[in-house]
């Protein structure tokens, strides 16, 4: 092998070994800990979202209160009520029981140390008891009332609150009546067959059917009449087959089809326009309480009356306002029952308090959440067949109390309206 070739190969091997040695870490450097270097501040980067979204946990249902209330009217000449307060829990419970008296009524007898009061922000008289309910016990209370109109039915709801008197455990209501005849039912809406648009549409349909029947009958009768008179190719009795001239198929006259079609179209369009106009005009979300809306029919009532709309049954048991002249709060104790077989959502912006000047305010959702111990009562839909009693808070400007509450399950529901005395 030539000397030059040997030199080149030795040089290549030497360079290759130097590269390997340079790539290997020195033993001292490997054993020594890395020097402390101050971290360089870097801009915070948003974390990447997970590949699979984390499911949101539903809020747990509201726990069933240990205290329940039942109100029963007595069969007496004067209004009397029996209130049963039951503690189903295993520990004693301190509670405040309040019974709302109808406007114009006063208490003549109260049992178990209750007393009649009229608070500064309350327009009617209420009877209040401070009780300590033993575990798994039932306490019976009683009231007797007097009123200027003894023959008028009286509704007096009662609620059991926590010791502070703000958080309701349960409420119930009852109406006393002294054998007076039932009030005449409200005038029901006319049945469909008595409404003008339906009658017009039905008349147009009958006209079309009559014209079509007459035309069909005349078309089938013409060959028989021609055969009987001998003027036509046909005969009543069979003859030997003879060639018959081809007959042109008669078609209804255009002057007959066009008017009939115009009548049917006008009746259909008129019915649809009348129905839609009536429904849309009844939905007024910016002024006075609505009277119809798209679903159901509006119902009016008083405090303590159970009022049903399209999905919910609302009962207003109590309305109390703070004393003051500006930005004061009014708290309504409301019972809500879902009457449908499906869960239903409702919204705080649809619950309103109407003032004497016609303006309204919606639910103060932050104050309502505070009154419900931090729970957002509108966040989760109500389960089918469930019932809850909760406070709704309205923040008003001025010292005039609300005259009416409007409660509804949905924007297209007619809702209910409760007069506040």
Segment 285-303, tens digit of pLDDT: 444 455 444 676 789 999 9
Specify if 274 maps to a domain. no
Q: Which domain holds residue 111?
A: 67-176
Beta carbons within 10 angstroms of residue 375's beta carbon: 16
Phi, psi of 187 (to 5 degrees): -65, 120
Mean pLDDT score across all residues of the chain: 76
Q: What does the pLDDT average to over 49-58? A: 39
Q: Say whether 153 sits in a helix, a strand or coil.
A: coil
Residue 127, phi then psi, degrees to nearest 5: -105, 130
What pLDDT is recorded for position 234? Answer: 52
Cα–Cα distance measured from residue 299 to residue 188, given in angstroms and rounded to the nearest whole number: 12
Helix (H, G, I), strand (E, B) or coil at 60: coil
Which residues is 138 bridged to in the sheet? 86
Query: Which carries the bigger pLDDT value, residue 253 or residue 59?
Result: 253
Q: Is residue 141 part of a domain?
A: yes
Provide the CA 329 distance to its chain's centre, in angstroms: 24
Query: Which CATH number fits the domain that encloses residue 76?
Result: 2.60.40.290
By DSSP bridging, strand 126-133 and strand 115-117 are antiparallel
* Residue 89 DSSP SS3: coil
Domain CATH number, residue 339: 2.60.40.1240
**Number of domains the chain contains:** 2
Longest pairwise C-alpha distance within the chain:
140
Strand extents, DSSP E, 148-298? 154-155, 158-161, 168-172, 175-176
Q: Does 90 have pLDDT greater than 80? A: yes
- Closest by Cα among 96, 102, 64, 66 to 83: 96
Which segments within 233-324 are labelled E, that is strand?
A: 299-302, 306-308, 312-321
| Of 305 and 8, more confident | 305
For residues 353 and 277, the model is more confident at 353
Position 266 in a domain: no
Between the CA atoms of 129, 135, 138 and 140, what dihedral angle is there, to the nearest 10 degrees? -20
Residue 22 has pLDDT above 60, yes or no: no
209-226 pLDDT, tens digit per residue, is 777 777 777 666 666 555
Question: What is residue 182's predicted lDDT score, i.e. its pLDDT?
Answer: 40
pLDDT tens for 314-350 read 999 999 988 876 778 999 999 999 999 999 999 999 9
Reading the block at residue 86, the tokens are 């039951």
Tokens at residue 233, please?
A: 């190719």
- With b for 16 or more beta-carbon neighbours within 10 A and e for fewer, the 61-89 pattern comes to eeeebbbbbebebeeeeebbbebebbbee
Lowest mean pLDDT among 4-18, 22-36, 99-113: 22-36
Q: Is residue 246 part of a domain?
A: no
Choose one of 150, 176, 202: the last residue of a domain. Answer: 176
Domain annotation covers residue 131: yes
| 271 vs 7, residue with greater confidence | 271
DSSP, residue by residue, 94-126: EEEEEEEPPTTEEEEEE-TT-EEE--TT-SS-E
Greater pLDDT, 42 or 349 = 349
Domain boundary among 143, 176, 209: 176
User: Look-up: residue for tokens 């984390």?
Assistant: 54
pLDDT at 400: 82
How many whole angstroms separate alpha carbon 136 and alpha carbon 158?
20
What whole-number distance in Å separates Cα of residue 31 and Cα of residue 307? Answer: 83
Q: Are strands 93-100 and 126-133 parallel, antiparallel or unpaired?
A: antiparallel
The predicted pLDDT at position 63 comes to 64
Residue 123 lies in a domain: yes
pLDDT, tens only, 383-410: 999 999 999 999 998 778 899 999 999 8
What percent of the chain is predicted at pLDDT more than 70?
63
Q: Which of 57-61, 132-136, 212-216, 270-274 has the highest mean pLDDT?
A: 132-136
- pLDDT of 377: 93
* pLDDT recorded at residue 324: 72
Q: What is the CA radius of gyration of the chain?
A: 41
Instruction: Please tell me the predicted confidence (pLDDT) of residue 19.
Output: 58
Residue 352 bridge partners (DSSP):
362, 406
- 419 CB neighbour count, 10 Å cutoff: 15
Predicted confidence (pLDDT) at residue 373 exceeds the cutoff of 80: yes
Cross-strand pairs, 72: 82
Write down the residue that tokens 């705080």 correspond to: 348
Query: Does residue 130 fall inside a structural domain?
Result: yes
Summarised one tens digit per residue, pLDDT across range 126-181 is 999 999 999 999 999 999 999 888 788 999 999 999 987 778 999 999 999 876 44
* Residue of 337, 287, 318, 323 lying closest to 391 (CA atoms): 318
Q: Which one of 144, 161, 176 terminates a domain? A: 176
Where does residue 44 rank: exposed (0-12), middle (13-18), buried (19+ CB within 10 A)?
Answer: exposed
Mean pLDDT of 66-76: 93
* Domain presence at residue 275: no
Overall pTM > 0.75: no
């Amino acid at each position: 092998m030539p000397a030059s070739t040997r030199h080149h190969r030795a040089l290549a091997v030497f360079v290759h070994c130097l590269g390997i040695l340079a790539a290997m870490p020195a033993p001292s450097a490997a054993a020594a800990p890395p020097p402390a270097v101050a971290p360089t501040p870097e801009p915070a980067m948003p974390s990447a979202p997970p590949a699979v979204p984390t499911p949101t946990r539903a809020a747990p249902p509201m726990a069933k209160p240990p205290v329940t209330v039942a109100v029963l009217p007595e069969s007496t000449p004067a209004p009397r009520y029996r209130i049963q307060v039951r503690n189903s829990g295993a520990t004693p419970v301190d509670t405040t029981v309040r019974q709302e008296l109808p406007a114009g009524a006063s208490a003549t007898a109260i049992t178990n140390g209750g007393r009649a009061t009229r608070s500064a922000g309350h327009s009617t008289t209420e009877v209040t008891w401070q009780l300590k309910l033993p575990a798994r016990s039932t306490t019976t209370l009683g009231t007797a009332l007097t009123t200027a109109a003894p023959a008028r039915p009286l509704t007096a709801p009662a609620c059991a609150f926590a010791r502070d008197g703000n958080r309701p455990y349960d409420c119930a209501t009852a109406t006393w009546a002294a054998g007076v005849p039932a009030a005449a039912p409200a005038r029901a809406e006319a049945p469909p067959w008595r409404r003008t648009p339906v009658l017009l549409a039905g008349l147009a349909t009958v006209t079309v059917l009559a014209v079509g029947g007459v035309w069909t009958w005349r078309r089938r009768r013409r060959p028989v009449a021609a055969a009987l008179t001998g003027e036509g190719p046909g005969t009543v009795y069979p003859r030997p087959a003879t060639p018959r001239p081809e007959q042109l198929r008669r078609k209804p006259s255009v002057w007959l089809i066009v008017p009939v079609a115009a009548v049917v179209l006008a009746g259909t369009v008129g019915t649809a326009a009348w129905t839609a106009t009536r429904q849309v005009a009844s939905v007024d979300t910016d002024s006075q309480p609505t009277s119809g809306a798209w679903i159901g029919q509006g119902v009016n009532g008083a405090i303590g009356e159970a009022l049903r709309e399209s999905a919910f049954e609302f009962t207003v048991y109590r309305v109390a306002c703070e004393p003051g002249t500006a930005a004061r709060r009014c708290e309504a104790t409301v019972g809500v029952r879902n009457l449908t077989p499906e869960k239903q959502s409702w919204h705080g912006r649809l619950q309103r308090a109407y003032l004497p000047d016609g303006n309204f305010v919606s639910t103060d959702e932050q104050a309502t959440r505070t009154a419900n111990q931090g729970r957002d009562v509108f966040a989760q839909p109500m389960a089918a067949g469930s019932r809850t009693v909760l406070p709704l808070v309205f923040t008003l400007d001025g010292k005039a109390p609300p005259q009416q509450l409007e409660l509804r399950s949905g924007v297209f529901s007619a809702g209910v309206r409760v007069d506040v005395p």
